[in-house]
Amino acid sequence: MNKTPIFARSIQYLDPMKIQKSTLKSIAELIGAQYVGDPKFPITGLNEIHKVEAGDITFVDHPKYYAKALNSAATVVLINKEVDCPEGKALLLHPDPFDAFVRLMRHFRPFEPQTTPISESATIGEGTLIMPGSFVGHHTIIGKNCLIHPNVTIYDHCVIGDNVIIHSGSVIGADGYYFQRRNEGYKKFESFGRVVIADDVEIGALCSIDRGVTSDTIIESGTKLDNHCQIGHDSYIGHNCLIGAHAAIAGVTRIEDDVILWGRVCVNKDLVIGTGAVVLATSAVDKSIEPGKAVFGVPAQEVKKQWREQAALRQLPEFLKEYYKTHQQ
Of the candidates 231, 212, 11, which has an alpha carbon nearest to the alpha carbon of residue 109?
Answer: 212
Are 286 and 268 contacting, i.e. CB atoms less than 8 angstroms apart? yes
> How far is 215 from 232, CA to CA, in rounded Å?
12
Are 140 and 154 contacting, i.e. CB atoms less than 8 angstroms apart? yes
Sort strands 90-93 and 34-36 into parallel, antiparallel or unpaired: antiparallel
The crossing angle, in degrees rounded to 10, of helices 97-108 and 24-31 is 110
- State which H helix or E strand residue 322 sits in: helix 303-327
Strand order in 294-296's β-sheet?
Answer: 129-130, 147-148, 165-166, 202-203, 224-225, 242-243, 260-261, 278-279, 294-296, 301-302
Mapping DSSP to helix (H, G, I), strand (E, B) and coil, where does residue 295 land?
A: strand
Catalytic residue among 233, 239, 246, 327: 233
Q: Is 228 a catalytic residue?
A: no
> How far is 17 from 27, CA to CA, in rounded Å?
15
Mapping DSSP to helix (H, G, I), strand (E, B) and coil, where does residue 24 land?
A: helix
Catalytic residues, which ones?
A: 233
